[in-house]
């Protein structure tokens, strides 16, 4: 079978049809002339197949060149009749044109397919490399389709394991692959010799029954024909899967050689390396990929994989080099991979940081693949901006096609939670976990999301149940144990919380022990034992020094949190110079990575304002503002506008320090108005500081009624207080003072008595929390005196 001839420009297409370029443009618009584009967009470079054009000319051209009736003199009634007939015909033609040219909606449900290696029956070892390489080529080619969902090679291996790379496949193997990969159909095949040719035979099989529903064949003469044969095979696979002819015509199907390479040797090397990197052997993959790009320097997919491999082994300079090349060759990337690559490329280093471009890349993906799981990247981006109303609809589309993917389910449940739609989140999680009860590692994030959802609603029994399930399902991991301690902590059951955290801190892993010591310090802080909390944090920092920790990632975050916590404790005990030093270390360990940098920078700014170093404070405040407002950020990025609350919170503390109480209240309310929806927990998830600061300024200015509702929010059992246990305890003290104050302002004795009883209750709770507090807090003695007076009445 001869290779299909391709025409690469409007000029060549017009010459083949013996018409002008303008006429060809009109025929495409009005009569669906079969023109293809490299990426499906109107302005992209065009190409066409001569055989398709010839068939179109034979079938459709009469619509464009209908003979004109001869001009004859007729009676007036004949002209009316002719006019009516022409009108009807015109409507018919317009209707046909509309039907032929109308955009084809992408269905939510499409056939799902896994492509397995082909069997080499030629007896020629030269074709061994194509066993897997041809499967990878077909996968890339078919993944362009809007009407078939093909699982990526790396995802297939992750789901199925070594079986996905077997030499041959039995009917039972096909069934197992389909079940584990969660696909409807499986494609495999073989290479056979026929004279001097190689016959490529594929089998499209039903994943459940094993029934062969199609067996497309192609004959390949020289090896360089393999790319054209992949295109031919892909089209025939669509036919076997009952993709409608109109959908096939309107599908994205750029030639395989255009989205990969024209070099068979380069592609075989790419296939080998792609499978190696999928098993996380990045250095080995790099060595093979370098050979591939040496053969074809314009092999965009190979440069894309090199970019990710170098990034994985922290070789930033080489990663940037190949990322830049892949970016320049982006029109040669398979369309679905393109958005994911551009997303990582634009966000991977400060000079390229451009979230607008990332959004555009995902919007382009969503136009053709609205149900693709990769669209979760855009949803995550919107969620990072706390724009949950935009994040949710994207996931609600993705779930229609990927209801069995735990990552999609967990992500959608998180977005429902962010918007306060707790019932929908609970039902989504429970339905999935009931249908998929196996305790695989993918179940962990779902159980954790269910646990968080329970905590946001103060459903502690349900939260304990999830933590117990985590401990049972994953006994070798510490996740369930840390959650168990945290639930007890929120319940003020400090004995059980400390027991769980101590067990956690005894695990033979430096980072886990560091985190465990920090959790124990949070209990000490809530009990007012500041020096005890410091000793636990210092113990964690000593562990960090003596251990071989990674220079980035979770290890760095654990060490940063210890410095941050120690700065907070020094500030609390009035040791502001030491607090500032630790805050600077926390900033250094955070790295300037957008909102992840904010907590340490925020604390540093608070310390400077309390030291009356206002000039330094203003610089830090402006730096924080830069993370929030696009017009202040030194890079072309949308910014995180809702994080302006951090900036307003700092301005409020500046005015509080200057005793400008009304202005401080105004700034604190501006900050509070930008908090994410209850339970969303954005980048800056410490709600406590916003509530407590407002309560503090209301109380200092003598406006007790304004302080009370803020104190009430601080003591909610659903509000995180890991770094703010002192504010939690002091809020009980503040509420006691509020009720004591109002008890003298009420008319009826019964109301006054009720208020006194409430004040007594809150003072007792505060003193119970801080019964063994360090003697640096005057609130303890004052609360004892107030309680004694009230109890004496």
Residue 349's pLDDT is 55
Residue 1's pLDDT is 41
Q: Do the Cβ atoms of 390 and 382 come closer than 8 Å?
A: yes
Percentage with pLDDT > 90 across the chain = 58
Residue 593's pLDDT is 52
Residue 345's pLDDT is 76
Burial label, 51 (beta-carbon count in 10 A; 0-12, 13-18, 19+) = exposed
Rounded to the nearest integer, the mean pLDDT of the chain is: 86
- How confident is the model over 214-228, as a mean pLDDT? 89
**Is residue 439 helix, strand or coil?**
coil
Length of the chain: 793
Tell me how far CA of residue 220 lies from CA of 3, 332, 637, 725, in angstroms: 9, 24, 50, 72
Residue 86: pLDDT over 90:
no
Residue 429: pLDDT over 90:
yes
Beta bridge partners of 218: 200
As a whole number of angstroms, the distance between CA 121 and CA 128 comes to 9
Domains of the chain in sequence order:
6-69+79-101 (1.10.1660), 112-259 (3.40.50.10070), 261-333 (1.25.40.10)
As a whole number of angstroms, the distance between CA 229 and CA 246 comes to 22
Residue 785's pLDDT is 96
Q: Do the Cβ atoms of 568 and 723 come closer than 8 Å?
A: yes
pTM score over 0.75: yes
Which token pair is 2? 């001869």
Residue 683's pLDDT is 59
Which token pair is 284? 């080995």
- How confident is the model over 214-231, as a mean pLDDT? 90
DSSP 45: P
Q: Helices in 299-375 by DSSP H: which ranges?
A: 300-312, 316-328, 335-347, 355-368
What value, to the nearest 5°, has the Cα angle with vertex 640 and ends 559 and 324? Answer: 80
Distance of CA 561 to the CA centre of its chain: 24
Q: How confident is the model at residue 238 (pLDDT cuts 50, 70, 90)?
A: very high
As a whole number of angstroms, the distance between CA 555 and CA 571 comes to 25
Please tell me the least confidently modeled range out of 399-403, 445-449, 545-549, 755-759: 545-549
Q: What residues have CB less than 8 Å from 330, skipping those under 6 apart?
A: 300, 338, 341, 342
For 187, the enclosing helix (H) or strand (E) is: strand 185-194
Burial label, 687 (beta-carbon count in 10 A; 0-12, 13-18, 19+) = buried
Beta bridge partners of 6: 49
- How confident is the model over 330-349, as a mean pLDDT? 79
- How confident is the model over 419-440, as a mean pLDDT? 88
- How confident is the model over 348-362, as a mean pLDDT? 69
Residue 629: pLDDT over 70:
no
Nearest partner of 527 among 784, 765, 719, judged by Cα: 765
Location of structure tokens 């790295």: 591
**Is residue 121 helix, strand or coil?**
coil
Burial label, 266 (beta-carbon count in 10 A; 0-12, 13-18, 19+) = buried
Q: Do the Cβ atoms of 679 and 456 come closer than 8 Å?
A: yes
* Residue of 220 and 617 predicted with greater confidence: 617
Model confidence over 550-578: pLDDT tens digits?
A: 666 667 778 888 999 999 999 999 999 99
Maximum separation of any 2 CA atoms in the chain, in Å:
119
């Amino acid at each position: 079978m001869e290779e299909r001839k391709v025409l690469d420009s409007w000029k060549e297409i017009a010459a083949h049809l013996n018409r002008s370029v303008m006429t060809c443009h009109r025929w495409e618009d009005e009569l669906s002339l079969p023109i293809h584009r490299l990426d499906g967009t109107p302005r992209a470079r065009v190409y066409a197949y001569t055989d398709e054009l010839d068939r179109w000319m034979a079938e459709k051209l009469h619509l464009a060149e209908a003979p004109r009736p001869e001009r004859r003199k007729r009676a007036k009634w004949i002209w009316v009749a002719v006019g009516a007939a022409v009108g009807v015909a015109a409507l018919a033609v317009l209707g046909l044109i509309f039907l032929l040219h109308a955009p084809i909606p992408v269905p939510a449900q499409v056939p799902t397919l896994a492509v397995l290696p082909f069997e080499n029956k030629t007896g020629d070892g030269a074709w061994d490399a194509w066993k897997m390489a041809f499967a990878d080529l077909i996968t890339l080619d078919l993944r362009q389709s809007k009407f078939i969902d093909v699982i990526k090679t790396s995802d297939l291996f992750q789901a199925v394991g070594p079986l996905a790379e077997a030499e041959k496949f039995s009917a039972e193997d096909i069934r197992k692959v389909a079940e584990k990969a969660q696909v409807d159909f499986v494609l495999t095949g073989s290479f056979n010799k026929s004279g001097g040719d190689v016959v490529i035979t594929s089998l499209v099989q039903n994943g459940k029954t094993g029934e062969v529903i199609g067996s497309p064949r192609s004959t390949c003469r020289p090896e360089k024909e393999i790319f054209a044969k992949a295109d031919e095979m892909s089209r025939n696979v669509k036919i076997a899967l009952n993709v409608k002819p109109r959908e096939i015509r309107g599908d994205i199907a750029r030639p395989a050689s255009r989205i990969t390479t024209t070099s068979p040797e380069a592609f075989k090397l790419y296939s080998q390396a792609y499978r190696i990197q999928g098993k996380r052997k990045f250095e080995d993959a790099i060595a093979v990929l370098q050979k591939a790009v040496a053969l074809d320097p314009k092999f965009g997919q190979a440069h894309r994989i090199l970019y990710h491999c170098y990034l994985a082994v922290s070789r930033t300079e080489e990663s940037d080099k190949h990322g830049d090349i892949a970016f320049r060759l982006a029109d040669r990337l398979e369309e679905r991979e393109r958005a994911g690559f551009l997303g990582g490329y634009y966000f991977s280093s400060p000079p390229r940081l451009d979230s607008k471009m990332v959004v555009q890349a995902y919007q382009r993906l969503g136009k053709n693949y609205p149900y693709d799981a990769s669209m979760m990247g855009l949803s995550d981006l919107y969620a990072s901006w706390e724009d949950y109303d935009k994040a949710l609809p994207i996931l609600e589309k993705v779930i229609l096609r990927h209801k069995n993917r735990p990552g999609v389910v967990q992500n959608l449940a998180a977005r429902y939670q962010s918007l306060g739609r707790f019932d929908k989140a609970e039902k989504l999680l429970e339905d999935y976990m009931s249908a998929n009860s196996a305790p695989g590692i993918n179940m962990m994030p779902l159980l954790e999301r269910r646990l968080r959802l329970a905590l946001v609603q103060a459903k502690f029994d349900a939260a304990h149940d999830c933590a117990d399930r985590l401990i049972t399902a994953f006994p070798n991991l510490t996740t369930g144990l840390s959650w168990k301690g945290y639930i007890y902590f929120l319940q003020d059951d400090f004995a059980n919380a400390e027991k769980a955290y101590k067990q956690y801190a005894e695990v033979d892993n430096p980072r886990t022990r560091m985190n465990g010591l920090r959790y124990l310090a949070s209990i000490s802080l809530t009990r007012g034992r500041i020096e005890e909390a410091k000793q636990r944090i210092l113990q964690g920092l000593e562990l960090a020094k003596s251990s071989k920790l990674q220079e980035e990632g979770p290890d760095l975050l654990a060490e940063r949190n210890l410095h941050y916590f120690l700065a907070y404790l020094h500030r609390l005990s009035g040791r502001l110079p030491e607090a500032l030093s630790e805050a600077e270390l926390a900033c250094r360990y955070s790295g300037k990575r957008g909102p992840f940098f904010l907590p340490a920078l925020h604390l540093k700014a608070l310390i400077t304002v309390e030291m009356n170093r206002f000039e330094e404070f203003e610089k830090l405040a402006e730096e924080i503002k830069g993370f929030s407002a696009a017009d202040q950020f030194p890079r072309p990025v949308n910014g995180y506008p809702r994080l302006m609350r951090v900036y307003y919170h700092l301005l409020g503390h500046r005015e509080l320090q200057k005793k400008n109480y009304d202005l401080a209240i105004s700034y604190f309310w501006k900050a509070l108005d930008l908090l994410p929806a209850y339970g969303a927990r954005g980048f800056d998830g410490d709600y406590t500081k916003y509530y407590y600061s407002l309560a503090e300024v209301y109380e200092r200015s003598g406006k007790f009624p304004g302080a009370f509702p803020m104190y009430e929010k601080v003591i909610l059992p659903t509000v995180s207080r890991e770094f703010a246990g002192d504010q939690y305890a002091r809020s009980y003290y503040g509420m006691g003072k509020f009720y004591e104050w109002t008890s003298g302002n009420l008319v009826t004795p019964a109301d006054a008595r009720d208020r006194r009883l409430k004040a007594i209750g809150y003072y007792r709770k505060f003193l119970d929390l801080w019964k063994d507090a360090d003697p640096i807090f005057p609130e303890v003695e004052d609360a004892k005196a107030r309680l004694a007076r009230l109890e004496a009445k």
